[in-house]
Every structure is written in C-alpha cells, then in structure tokens.
Amino acid sequence: MTDTPAIPARPRPFRPATTEPALVKWSLIGLCLAVLTVLLFAPLYAVFDEALRRGWAFALASLSEPDAQSAIRLTLLVAAITVPLNAAFGIAAAWAITKFDWRGKAWVITFIDLPFSISPVVAGLLFILMFGANSALGMWLVANGLPVVFAVPGIVLATMFITFPFVARELIPVMLEQGRAEEEAALTLGASGWRTFLTVTLPNIRWALLYGVLLCNARAMGEFGAVAVVSGKIRGQTTTMPLMIEMFYNEYLSVAAFTMAGVLALLALVTLTLKSALEWRYADQLAATHRH
Amino acid sequence: MNIDIEEISKDFGTTAALHPVSLSIPSGTLVALLGPSGSGKTTLLRILGGLEFPTAGRVLFDASDATGLSVQERRAGFVFQSYALFRHMTVFDNIAYGLRARPRRSRPGGPEIARRVNRLLSLIKLPDIGARYPSQLSGGQRQRVALARALAIEPRMLLLDEPFGALDAKVRRELRQGLRDIHDTTGLTTVFVTHDQEEAMQLADLVVVMSMGRIEQVGRPEDIRARPGTEFVREFISA
C-alpha cells in the first residue's frame, strides 16, 4: 500500500480564523433581523401607524386636550426634578464607593441595586405606607398642606426611587477601572479635593455620566408601576404620560392613546439619536479616554 | 531638604505593612528603596508623599515635624508607577496642572506658565510634544512627562514609585541616566522605589534594602555589595 499525498481537487478559499461559513453567517444575521423585526421595528411601526390612522390633524388634536397637555407637563416636570437629583446622588455614591475604602461598602452596592430587584408596584406601596393618610407622618404632612401621596411630591419620590441606580451603575465600573492614581496625582500637585473632582474625576467620567443620565431620563419619563400606585391617577393633576396612555386606551380612545405613546417613543428616539450624535462627534476623545 | 523618618509604622487593618522603621536621608541624596513586592517600600514612599498616614511615628523635613502635613502642603513631586497622566489633557496641560492649581496670589500668569512648561519640556528632551495626548506617547515619553509634571510644582523632594517598571530594557537604561542627570541638575532629594537591585546599585547614592516591612540594611551601593548585613540582603543582591 502506497501513501499518496492527498492533493485537494481545488484549493480551498482562505477564510479568516474568526469568520464562519456563509451559510452560518447569514442564518444568524437573518435570525437577528427576524427577532428585531418582531420585537422592535414592527411594534414601533404599529404605534405610529395607529396614532396616524385618522391623520396628523386628528392625532395632534388629541394631544392638545387639557388632560393630555397636563400629563405631558407633569412628566417633563418630574423628569426635570428627578434626573438632576439622581445624577448628583449617583456621582456621589459612585465616588464614595470607588475612590475610598470603608466598612460596609458591599452592602451599599447591594442597596443601590435594590430598586432594580423590587417590583415597582411594591415600591409604590412602600411610599403609600410611609406617607399615606394611615401613617402619622402622612397625617402631619396633609395637615400642614404638603400632601405627598396622590400628589406631585409622591410621584417625584417614587420616580427617584425607581431611577436611582441608573447613574451609579453606569459610573461604578468605569471609575473602578480608572483607579485612583490620577486623583492622587492631582492632589500631590497641590489641587484641592474639589478642584481634583472638577478637573480630573468629572472629565474622566463624562461619557458614562451622559449614558447614565440618558437612561435615567428615559426611565423617569416612562415609569408606570410605582407612579400608578402613589399618584392616585387624578386626571389633569397627578396623571403622567404613561398613566394617561393607559387611561385613553381603557376608554377606547385608541388614537389618543397611541399618539401619546408615539410622543413618548419619540422622546426616547430623540435621546438615542442625541447619544449617537455625541458619540460620533467626539469619537476621537472617547477613544483617547479608553485606550490609555 | 533633609528627610528624617522616626519609628514610622503602618498597619492596614490587622496586617502590619511597616514595622517601626527609622531612616535619615541627607539633603540632595538620590535614594533607592529596594525590596521585593510586599516589603513595604511603596508604603514608605506614600507616607513621605502624604498619600498615606503612618499609624505611629514621625516624619521630619529639615528637622521640622511634617507628619501632619496634608498631601498638598508637602509639595512632593510624585511620579506614579503607571505615571497617572491626566488622559483627557494634552501634555502641556498635564505639566501646567500644578501651576494652575496654585492659589491666585502665587499663581503665575499664562505666559509665565507657558515659559516654564516649555523649559521643562526641553529639560526632558521632548520639546515638541506639548499638544499631544498621553495615549499618543510611548511608555518612555509618558514617564518623562510625568517627571516634568512633578518638577513643575518646584517640589521640595522627588518621589518615584517604580519609575522604570513598565519599560523595555533599552529605554530603561536611557531613562536611568535621564533621572540621574535631572537629579544632578536640580539637586533635589530624590527617593525612588524599585525591586531591581541592579537599577538601585547603579543609580542611587544610598540604597535602603527592605523586606517584610523592615529595613534590612542602609548603605552606599559598594558597601552593601562588599558587606551585606544580613542573609536576606546577600541573597537579594546576588539574584
């Protein structure tokens, strides 16, 4: 028996080590597109299609209703209060956790995640128990003309609770990876703690902070469960956009419901576009901050 | 500036990083803190710079107690192991940082800052890199920029944590000479940490051999080589 070296009939085409055969590649891409279409594109299209079923004029008219106007204003107000506060709290928490060593740090990290693991409805009920008419604190607050439950302060509190983790969660990994050396360097060069924070820490985390704020904002505008419980859903007073959508829908005002939903989706799309635009505009800076 | 370390100890929780150590550094000396990792050399350096505070003991600068001085008040030029350059600033802004951080009354004006930064850039023999970012520099260039940034504050002493650790052999030899030259030009008391006995012996006027949080031996390189004080020193320098 002779060993004849097997000569391939034709040379196989070169394929880079990290790619797959065309069949595998295209079926995976196709699968992704199918999932995205069913879960994302089609619903998004359906929202706008339903909203504009009777034309632009009709859709816009449903938005100019006083109740709808009030819901939009309330949602923007709540976001305008909660997002800056949670950005400040998130920075403070991430800074304390990543730049210092202290006892009980692991517990605090767990507590920051609490709003993610608690059902929003439960969170809402917590605020009712604390500030509601059945509690001493709640009675005192109402007597002094500052009702929390079924009023705007309750909505703000519930939204803050739900959106608290977003900024901190975005910042902690980035700040851990960057370490403390640059801050220490600034201090040895004579900078005060505050100056170090403003000129070294903050510029280094600005992208993570921006993402955190955008996510926080999207959730603050979209939060339903906790707000539904604490707001009491008083039309024109404590109804936010997500609550208004549900009300319209339950009243078979589907054009109004989907128009409002479209506005909410549009707000999200605008934030996403803004984020991509900034990423594109500052691509070189982003690369510089990550590489070094 | 003379530096005196009197019975300094440092505990992290229940582990002792430094047992009481004492050391006298005459003004203008180039000192190497030499030892394996975990010997407490970096902790001692950070205590000198005011980045850590000792559990007990005193640090004297020119015979006056400096133990309680904050890191800003120490005015120690510190070069970090990975250089810790501000990644979002140009080389120029990195070097100017310490001057701009000064209180208004002692802060130089813009043209004066520019003049000083340019002088430092030529001292480290990199006159044309002011506009670059740290990520665009080689390891050796980064180390020299970190040195220039530390010198910009007109420090009272120079402290360097493994200044040549992350560099390849050729660059390392060049920069050793560079540090020696800068030390000789400025006359600053300089302390650097290293685990490389060859580097310590070649570069330093005074070598402090450390192990397990204790000082094993202090002496001129030739004396340590000729008469190792302990078995540890004998083994470490022959490695």
Summarize the confidence of residues A78-96 as an average pLDDT: 94
The amino acid occupying position A282 is: Y
The chain-wide mean pLDDT, for chain B, equals 92
Summarize the confidence of residues B172-184 as an average pLDDT: 90
**A206 C-beta neighbours (distance < 10 Å), count:** 14
Cross-chain residue pair B72–A288, CB shorter than 8 Å: no
Residue of A nearest to B98 (CA): A189
Cross-chain residue pair B135–A285, CB shorter than 8 Å: no
Residue of A nearest to B81 (CA): A181
Per-residue CA distances from B115 to A191, B95, B102, B130 (Å): 21, 12, 17, 12
Residue with tokens 């180390």: B143
Question: How far off is chain B from A165, nearest CA to CA, in Å?
Answer: 27
The per-type count for chain A, helices as H runs and strands as E runs, is 15, 0
CATH architecture, domain A56-291: Orthogonal Bundle (1.10)
Predicted model pTM: 0.82
Q: pLDDT above 70 covers what percent of chain A? A: 92
Higher pLDDT residue, B133 or A149?
B133
Summarize the confidence of residues A278-289 as an average pLDDT: 70
- Residue A183 has what pLDDT? 94
Of A186, A192, A288, the CB nearest to B87: A288
The chain-wide mean pLDDT, for chain A, equals 88
Of A182, A190, A199, the CB nearest to B72: A190
With 90 as the cut, is the pLDDT of residue A277 above it? no
- Tens of pLDDT, residue by residue over B83-112, are 999 999 999 999 999 999 999 888 989 999
pLDDT bin (cut points 50, 70, 90) of residue A292 is very low
Residue with tokens 């030259």: B181
Cross-chain residue pair A285–B88, CB shorter than 8 Å: yes
- Tens of pLDDT, residue by residue over A218-265, are 899 999 999 999 988 888 888 999 999 999 999 998 889 999 999 999
Q: How far is CA A288 from the centre of its chain?
A: 26
Of A181, A188, A289, the CB nearest to B88: A289
Closest CA relative to residue B19, chosen from B49, B67, B55, B51? B55
Sorted by where each starts, the structural domains of chain B and their CATH numbers stand as: 3-75+155-238 (3.40.50.300), 87-154 (no CATH)
- Residue B118 has what pLDDT? 94
Q: Where are the beta strands (DSSP E) in chain B?
A: 3-12, 15-25, 30-34, 56-61, 64-65, 76-79, 157-161, 189-194, 206-211, 214-219
- Enter the ipTM: 0.92
Question: How far off is chain B from A176, nearest CA to CA, in Å?
Answer: 14
With 90 as the cut, is the pLDDT of residue A1 above it? no
Per-residue CA distances from A275 to A168, A222, B10 (Å): 18, 18, 47
Contact B34, B219 (CB under 8 A): no
- Least confident piece of the model among A118-122, A250-254, A270-274, B217-221: A270-274
**B106 C-beta neighbours (distance < 10 Å), count:** 8
